[in-house]
Structure 1
Amino acid sequence: MSIAIIKTLLNRTATFSLEETLAFLAKEYKDKVVFSTSFGQEDQVITALIATNNLPITIFTLDTGRLFQETYDVFQQTLKKYRVDIKTYFPETPAVEALLNEKGPNSFYESVENRKECCFIRKVAPLTKALQGNEIWITGLRAEQSENRNDLNLFEYDEKFDIIKFNPLLKWTLKEVQDYIEKNEVPQNTLHKEGFVSIGCAPCTRAITPDEDIRAGRWWWESSHKECGLHSPLTPEGGIIREKN
């Protein structure tokens, strides 16, 4: 069924612009379309498109409790510029307390398993709550962000969260994203000017050099797939299954 829906969406939006596709989804799935933002450059582009076109799409973010102050700054600037509501989801307090009491505040540096546990508590569990009851999840994923995202489709069925994902900037380059931001004076995280391309939690993000991969600054101490579980492909330990169109 989900494959058929994805094919239908691809066919019906084939000639639409990005803005027209967003408007179509908001109308077709009234009050069931959500956009998750972490206030990165890609997400800021999508927020601008939603806000300037006055689209009835719910915008939400995940506050892990370990974000950069610069991320909160652009959060505030975005609220002020676009006058939009951005719903915030936090991790469950008992889960965070249990993790810190058992393993300390920096257990994620000790093993991939510990890092995934922290990501699950601070990101995946709150995301599950945010997506519940919705039908379309809009993301800021781009194919060139990592090898794991090269095989993404414009529309996908995410079995883990039982929702259809729409990746509107899938084929955009980083330069196209940056050009849009400059042209439209979109608020952006000041860390982007300091070599931070992909920005997550402060303890798990560093700046990169021009010759490094875009995702090299995330969990740099690991030799892993550089994913937190929000957009992971299926793994032996569990994860997301994407149905191809």
Structure 2
Amino acid sequence: MADRTVQPLQPGQPAPAFELASANRDGPVSLASLRGRPFLIGLFRGLHCPFCRRQMRQFSSVEPALRAVGVETLAVVNTPVERARLYFRFQPTPVTVLADPDCQTHRDFGAPQAALLPPESTETPEWPHRTRPADFAAARINPTGELAEPMHPMEANELLNAREGFEPDETDLRIFAEHGTQLVGHFLVDAAGIISWSEIEARFGPDELGVFPSAAEIMTAVKRVAT
């Protein structure tokens, strides 16, 4: 079961230290190497998640505007670096892509992983730290409007992956089995390393899975810290 103590970091708190291998840059990227420059960091599930892939494409589209005001754009994927390098060789992006197959950066920033209670549990549900299997099974999503009707998140993943011709390999399936309910987090960090804005996916329940900040919301937040 996921760590129930994880709480998202809030604006005003320092960003946690990290150092991760990059899938499309030379050498690792760390918090220390970014000191003095504001950056937007998205903490995503593995490449098996079609909604995360869509948000990374949105990151690509907004990256030039962020770069123009001095903000770097980072995307952390819950995927081994070798797998990520292969994917982004064919899907290039101006965003700096970092690999974290263990979700350590997600945990350090406080992006929670949804935890399903055992069927016999009498604990009070508290999304996302404790949720009943029946409540998760009842979730229906259509965050991008691409589906004919709202579907269960896992069914939506399968349908969109098949539609795009994305075939998860053994690595993707292992990551999905270990971290499939990891929630996505977005954090804007200022030049001093302090979080100035944050958003966590599905704050109010599983029906909001796959709903991420729009480009306009990101730019509005960036205007507060851009130099």
Query: Do both share a fold (TM > 0.5)?
Result: no
- Which fold has the larger relative contact order, with Cα–Cα distance below 8 Å and residues 6 or more apart in sequence? 2
Give TM-score, length-normalised by structure 1.
0.31
Compare the two structures and name the one with the higher helix fraction: 1
